[in-house]
Amino acid sequence: QKEVEQNSGPLSVPEGAIASLNCTYSDRGSQSFFWYRQYSGKSPELIMFIYSNGDKEDGRFTAQLNKASQYVSLLIRDSQPSDSATYLCAAGTYKYIFGTGTRLKVLA
């Protein structure tokens, strides 16, 4: 059974702080890894993807991948109340397995 595990949260951080979201995956054959943001009642929105070990930065977001540890993370710098949402991690090749998401609350 291929799985992607995330802590459901909620993860509460004050405005302006760094939010750190984590994810582990079981399928060592996974080649691509994604972070989606999902607001309540809306569909997932792609915010980051990564496929090589190391860090990838895009604005306030940094994705980190460690294939040896089967671990993916997302850092959100200067967190804003508008970042409050559920963050979904996905892993796979052409077919992606999603975690259940981590709910992030950014407190003003």
Partner 1 sequence: DTGVSQDPRHKITKRGQNVTFRCDPISEHNRLYWYRQTLGQGPEFLTYFQNEAQLEKSRLLSDRFSAERPKGSFSTLEIQRTEQGDSAMYLCASSLGQGVDEQYFGPGTRLTVT
Name the site residues for partner 1 (rule: CB under 8 A).
4, 8, 32, 34, 36, 42-46, 49, 51, 88, 90, 94-101
The answer to whether the beta carbons of residues 61 and 72 sit under 8 Å apart is: no
Please, what is the minimum distance in Å from the beta carbon of residue 37 to partner 1? 11
Q: How many CB atoms lie within 10 A of CB 53?
A: 11
In whole angstroms, the minimum distance from the beta carbon of 108 to partner 1 comes to 25
Phi, psi angle pair for 22, to nearest 5°: -125, 160
Closest to partner 1 by CB, 40 vs 69, is 40
Q: How far apart are CA 28 and CA 26, in angstroms?
A: 6
CB of 19 to partner 1, least distance (A): 19
Nearer to partner 1, 32 or 70 (CB): 32
Among 90, 102, 74, 88, which residue's Cα sits nearest to residue 25? 90
Q: Which is nearer to partner 1, 64 or 99 (CB)?
A: 99
The Cβ of residue 80 has, within 10 Å, a number of other Cβ atoms equal to: 12
Compute the least distance from the CB of residue 31 to partner 1, in Å: 8
Of 72 and 101, CB closest to partner 1: 101
